[in-house]
Structure 1
Amino acid sequence: MTDTALASICGFAFSGIEAVPVKVEVQLSVGLPSFLVVGLPDKAVNESRERVRAALSAMGLALPAKRIVVNLVPASLMKEGSHFDLPIALALLGVMGLLPGDMAQRYAALGELSLDGGVNPVCGVLPAAMTAAGLSLGLICPASQGVEARWASEDMDILAIRSLPELLNHFRGQQVIDPVELPARMDAGLTALPDLADIRGMETARRALEIAAAGRHSLLMVGPPGAGKSMLAARLPGIMPDLTPTEMLEISRIHSISGLLKDGQPVSRPPFRDPHHSSSPTALSGGGARARPGEVSLAHRGVLFLDELPEFSRSALEILRQPMETGSISIARAAAHVTYPARFQLIAAMNPCKCGYLGDASQECRKAPRCGEDYQARLSGPLLDRVDMAVHVEPMPLNRIAETTGGEASATVAARVREAVARQHDRQGEARNAEAPIDDFRITAAARDFAVQASEKTRLSARGFTRLLRVARTIADLSAAIDVERPHVAEALAYRIRRPGRK
């Protein structure tokens, strides 16, 4: 070995849902024995020195008694996370002459090392594999995440390893690492989801839920405790259509960055997120030390269900306003500025007042109706103006619950929703009605005049008028109508209220 030796391999840093290539360089030079990591590493990356040292020791290898410098290029980009363990170890083995010299030109790597040389799973394998495929590189990753990496490309060379010795033996020809193949795709059927057939009565609420699913509209349900609001929301995913391939890939990247992909399978059904009302604004929007995705991003192309809506902090609720309009959220921090997708479908539920029984003379508190006004005032007007639909959920009398049979099953409603979504795709491509421009909608003159007159009389904003027409277009799609007609606008107007619970 010469006085100075250099080896490198491609690793990754993450910015939002993008994997940024990072060149991991390792240099051995004459000098006092030391092990330095430079290139703006965080604490987890600096701790890689000890994990790499222990892993090599477990393999019976000792670090050379030289000056070891690990440089992470570009140095201006913050490097975070334990996934740099594996590329640092591989570059070090390469500079020690234990791995082929052309490995750096053929592979990228990410993974966390155990002290015994094992390779542990990390976040972000799917976006890393996509970037590696774009660079015409193979990928070395943890064995448990090989399937996740394979979804990025069916042709790239993937080495899914359990330990460093396994990789060394593979390159020496003493062991063959099994190729990673995609498993038979398991259909995400509706059998495991709650069924709408369990709900008795509530025709108006069921109809509103069907419209919301067909057009991906936001929905606010108001009613006393036990009326069935949460029960209805839990059954929304069962009537929503499967994700398109583009949506699957986009959502799976977000969940991969967050470490939420199960068994390497991509997300094939719209996600359903239901954070508790004690969640902080950062938990909803995303951020923190590493600017991770929040609930609004984890619910991208799916449902964000906020139960007991007024119980959320005012600052947390106001965060929802921008992504509900733009479909994305930008997180600006001193050390990071990232943008995550956040086109979620807001489904919210609330009681009409703090005691929950406003309007029921036998149960409401002595502060009624003032308590209801104060409780509903926790929701700002701009936030409510962004909600497409609102419906009052009335509890069914017990005798009717005992006598009434269940309604339509989720499979029946889902079939109508799929047909309505297909009409939207034929008309406006991937955009659903909740986000499509109203110029794409055909509407009769009588329906348009009625919509304008009703909006002026009820003092709807321009945003409210636009959302009214979008809901009417979805109602028309469910009835297979080519043009939006006056009855469609009238039904949409019934769901368009400015303040919940107000008559």
Structure 2
Amino acid sequence: MLIKVFGSAVFGVEATTITVEVDVNKGIGYHLVGLPDNAIKESNYRIAAALQNNSYKIPGKKITINMAPADLRKEGSAYDLTLAMGILAASNQINVKRSIESYIIMGELSLDGSLQPITGALPIAIKAREEGFTGFILPHQNAKEAAIVNDLEVYGVSNISEVIGFFEETETLSPVVINTREEFYKNLNFPEFDFADVKGQESIKRCMEIAAAGGHNIILIGPPGSGKTMLAKRLPSILPPMTLHEALETTKIHSVVGKVRETGLLNNRPFRAPHHTISDVALVGGGTYPQPGEISLSHNGVLFLDELPEFKRSVLEVMRQPLEDREVTISRARFTVTYPSSFMLVASMNPSPGGYFNDPDAPVSSSPAEMQRYLGKISGPLLDRIDIHIEVTPVPFEKLSCTEKAESSVAIRERVMTAREIQTQRFEELPNIHYNAQMNTKQIRAFCALDDASLDLLKNAMQRLNLSARAYDRILKVARTIADLDASELVLGHHISEAIQYRSLDRDGWLG
């Protein structure tokens, strides 16, 4: 007897429906075709034990299973439940009263028939709804994640016996129901880190506010203990809350690597801080079977690279294209996947191997030559893609011992959100542009027009600092954001002046 059941495969952040055709006929043998990997080939042992322990069995006949489309490689153990239900239905061991072809069935089987969680439940659920399936049966650990998708019945199960009872109509399963919008806004938690905890560093907080308002990349240069990491960790607290669309997009990426499950919809912007020993594949994504990297996991959030010169040069260089295009494409011989990677880069670094500026009173002093050599580990093209460079100086004792609370993240966030609203209105007719950092050259010319005095000021700075054309665009973008924070329609001279100050690494003699 021939039976069709349906599963799903995830490539990139999109799912593809897999038709599992099970034919049980006269003869002997178990034949599994359709480019399965080793985990799927081994599934017959798990399925046999799970069925045996639940009073069923793999029939002693010829079983042929085809996973279509046959030219698409399938991987992972999530097809165990799909195959097991196909075998039971095709061998008439269960009396299927409910249409098994109307459901996507996924789950990894333990030997006792219980189910282990899977990855990629959210993109699978989205695809199931698109293709008109009635419901999605999966392990209960993933049910909350998949139930984000409306107009699809999602059933979380803990054992294969529950699935059998559901299709025989001897057991009733209740679909998991989540009001996505209500859940999203109810759990919009404020991050635990607050700028009110940061003593002093008012100028750096101003830079952080500008970076958050325009979505600009920023690098902090300063000695140990000056507060670089502390400031970076608090940046998400002043970013505008994610929209529902951004939350779904971000959750989808985290679902692919199995980082969602019980939490359901992500509602706080991601903050990723990989160690400097990370490989280029782990950062941008890839592998034999490509998975999202850190830059994609920080999509719609912040990627923090602490001690930037300590990262391998090859790792930093692979970020250049994603920083510009806001997506990363991974190509293999048989397929290509694209992951979104629209993130804010926050980097920090010491100015020298010893950690201090060229200061004779510093505990470990470095010569200007050593400092230049240390900074030379970071390529010019990468620095060009970072809009704001700012020096962080140590906080004096008077500021540290001050008991007065600094301005809170809530107050800063209000100003940031006001500036973002101005940008939303400005770019409402441009579908892929949401804030100033995303502007291309054409939009910069349209929205960052300068008067003659401002143009002369920028011209002098370009000539004296020997800035590149990309740096010119970055200054205009930052100046546009500063003008938005001032609620100014025009980019004025003092906006340009402040933006030029935030190109520390472009200035000759900045080391003193």
What TM-score, normalized by structure 1, do the two folds share?
0.95
For the aligned residue pairs, the C-alpha RMSD in angstroms reads: 1.8
Deviation at 1:49, TM superposition (A): 1.3
Q: What secondary structure, in the 3-state scheme, does the structure 2 residue paired with 1:108 have?
A: strand
Q: What secondary structure, in the 3-state scheme, does the structure 1 residue paired with 2:262 have?
A: coil
**Compared CA separation, residues 417 and 141, structure 1 to 2 (3 A):** same
Q: What secondary structure, in the 3-state scheme, does the structure 2 residue paired with 1:434 have?
A: helix
Counterpart of 1:408 in structure 2 is: 407
Q: Is the 8 A contact 1:275 1:306 kept in 2?
A: yes
Does 1:435 find its partner at 2:431?
A: no
Q: Is the 8 A contact 1:201 1:406 kept in 2?
A: no
Does 1:150 find its partner at 2:153?
A: no
Q: Is the 8 A contact 1:424 1:432 kept in 2?
A: yes
Q: Is the 8 A contact 1:122 1:259 kept in 2?
A: yes
Separation in 1, partners of 2:217, 2:274: 17
Deviation sequence 1:389-441 (CA, Å, 0-9, x none): 01000001224321363320111001111111111111113521100231441
Q: Is the 8 A contact 1:329 1:340 kept in 2?
A: yes
Separation in 2, partners of 1:498, 1:401: 28
Separation in 1, partners of 2:31, 2:20: 13
Residue 20 of structure 1, aligned match among 11, 16, 23: 16
Counterpart of 1:474 in structure 2 is: 481
Separation in 2, partners of 1:146, 1:156: 12
Counterpart of 1:176 in structure 2 is: 172
Separation in 2, partners of 1:264, 1:90: 28
Counterpart of 2:241 in structure 1 is: 242
Deviation at 1:56, TM superposition (A): 0.8
Deviation sequence 1:245-304 (CA, Å, 0-9, x none): 221111111000011115242122211000001111111011123211000100111100
Q: Which runs of 5+ in 1 are unaligned?
A: none
Q: What secondary structure, in the 3-state scheme, does the structure 1 residue paired with 2:345 have?
A: strand
Q: Is the 8 A contact 1:384 1:499 kept in 2?
A: no
Letter matched to residue 63 of structure 1: I
Separation in 2, partners of 1:24, 1:275: 39
Separation in 1, partners of 2:263, 2:90: 32
Counterpart of 2:88 in structure 1 is: 93
Deviation sequence 1:216-264 (CA, Å, 0-9, x none): 1000000000000000001001111111222111111100001111524
Residue 458 of structure 1, aligned match among 442, 462, 465: 465
Deviation at 1:101, TM superposition (A): 6.8
Q: What secondary structure, in the 3-state scheme, does the structure 2 residue paired with 1:179 have?
A: coil
Counterpart of 2:44 in structure 1 is: 49
Counterpart of 1:131 in structure 2 is: 127
Deviation at 1:76, TM superposition (A): 1.0
**Compared CA separation, residues 161 and 366, structure 1 to 2 (3 A):** closer
Seq. identity, %:
40
Q: What secondary structure, in the 3-state scheme, does the structure 2 residue paired with 1:69 have?
A: strand
Show the 5 A alignment for 1:227-376: 227-334=226-333, 336-363=335-362, 365=364, 367-376=366-375
Deviation at 1:171, TM superposition (A): 2.6
Deviation sequence 1:49-97 (CA, Å, 0-9, x none): 1111111111111111111121111111110111111211121122122
Letter matched to residue 489 of structure 1: I
Letter matched to residue 356 of structure 1: G
Separation in 2, partners of 1:452, 1:260: 49
Which range moves more in the overlay, 270-279 or 434-443? 434-443
Deviation sequence 1:465-484 (CA, Å, 0-9, x none): 11111111111111111111
What TM-score, normalized by structure 2, do the two folds share?
0.93
**Compared CA separation, residues 464 and 101, structure 1 to 2 (3 A):** farther
Separation in 2, partners of 1:358, 1:411: 34
Deviation sequence 1:4-62 (CA, Å, 0-9, x none): x1111121111100001111111112222x22221111111112111111111111111
Which range moves more in the overlay, 410-419 or 422-431? 422-431
Q: What secondary structure, in the 3-state scheme, does the structure 2 residue paired with 1:403 have?
A: coil
Deviation sequence 1:360-395 (CA, Å, 0-9, x none): 212264651221111101001111111000100000
Does 1:187 find its partner at 2:187?
A: yes
Does 1:65 find its partner at 2:60?
A: yes
Separation in 2, partners of 1:480, 1:102: 61
Counterpart of 1:225 in structure 2 is: 224
Q: Which runs of 5+ in 2 are unaligned?
A: none
Counterpart of 1:486 in structure 2 is: 493
The count of corresponding residues between Structure 1 and Structure 2 is 496
Which range moves more in the overlay, 433-442 or 197-206? 433-442
Q: Is the 8 A contact 2:359 2:365 kept in 1?
A: no
Separation in 1, partners of 2:365, 2:498: 35
Q: Is the 8 A contact 1:39 1:72 kept in 2?
A: yes
Deviation at 1:358, TM superposition (A): 2.5
